[in-house]
Amino acid sequence: MAKRDQSFEGITQKFSRNIYATNKGKIRLAVLERDLQAWLPTSAEAANMRVLDVGGGLGQLSMMFAQAGCDVTHTDISGEIVAEAQALHSQHGLQQRYQYHVAPLQQLPELLQQSYDIVLCHAVLEWLVDPQQALVTLKQLMRPNGRLSLMFYNRDAKILANIIFGNFDYVQADLMVKKTVRMSPQQPLAPMDMRDWLEQLQLKVTQRTGVRCFHDYLRNRDDQKRYEELLALELRYNQQSPFVDIGRYLHWQIEHA
């Protein structure tokens, strides 16, 4: 059977609980918000700035750009999740700043017929059958001087975590399992591959950040509940070597070379 891109249609509430309502999700969001503060426009710049959120989920992160006065296009493959995002944005009085589309990443250039100053693509590529081609599509959606915020599931960190927890057979099997788990990304991405793909597209990484550099490695699960302490350590160390490379996710801020 041919592989298909993953969708969360029908499990929106479970997705919300597992991803956004946990400390690991809160850490992820806080790190991205910190990183992207430098990309927020002035009030004068915002009127002419277009932002695209690809696979935007519930749309929390893009709200910082909408609140700054930008026009935001929110897309996701799941109609349920897009509806939840619309409801959240309405609660914050931001609905007039948004346009919404239910569509996969691959269809966006033809559907949207425009390019953007900032493209957000977080935790999407690892769910796709062809992540390298998805990068080509993302570049098409960027203006010539545009910027891309890309977060992806780190294959190196997954290997490290499974060795730490003694899952040697799983690592020896090249992280392959007979039965996939719907809420687990189907193909974590090797940072070396990502670097090569970006270089081929003449896209330059201007900032690298590890996301969840410590949380997922804690053997005592009670320590994962110490959110404020963990977040403080995360924000202090996650752009420094060697910690930046062991984040469960990697957030790379990218511009045209």
- For 21, the 3-state DSSP assignment is coil
Report helix angle 23-36 to 227-237, nearest 10. 40
Nearest Cα residue to 97 out of 55, 64, 139: 64
pLDDT of res. 185: 77
Is the pLDDT higher at 123 or at 7? 123
pLDDT of res. 176: 81
Task: Tell me the pLDDT tens digit for each residue of 25-83.
Answer: 999 999 999 999 999 999 889 989 999 999 999 999 999 999 999 999 999 999 999 99
- State yes or no: pLDDT of 2 exceeds 60: no
pTM for this entry: 0.92
Binding site, by residue number, is 28, 55-56, 76, 122
pLDDT of res. 18: 65
Binding site for S-adenosyl-L-methionine, by residue number, is 28, 55-56, 76, 122
Give how far the C-alpha of residue 228 lies from the chain's centroid of Cα atoms, to the nearest Å. Answer: 22
C-alpha 67/C-alpha 69 separation (Å) is: 5
Place of tokens 């009085």: 93
Quick one: DSSP state of residue 15? H
Place of tokens 């959110």: 227
**Mean pLDDT throughout 186-201?**
95
Is the pLDDT higher at 88 or at 9? 88
pLDDT of res. 257: 77
| pLDDT bucket at 1, cuts 50 / 70 / 90 | very low
Q: Which domains does the chain have, with CATH numbers?
A: 12-256 (3.40.50.150)
Average per-residue pLDDT for the chain: 91
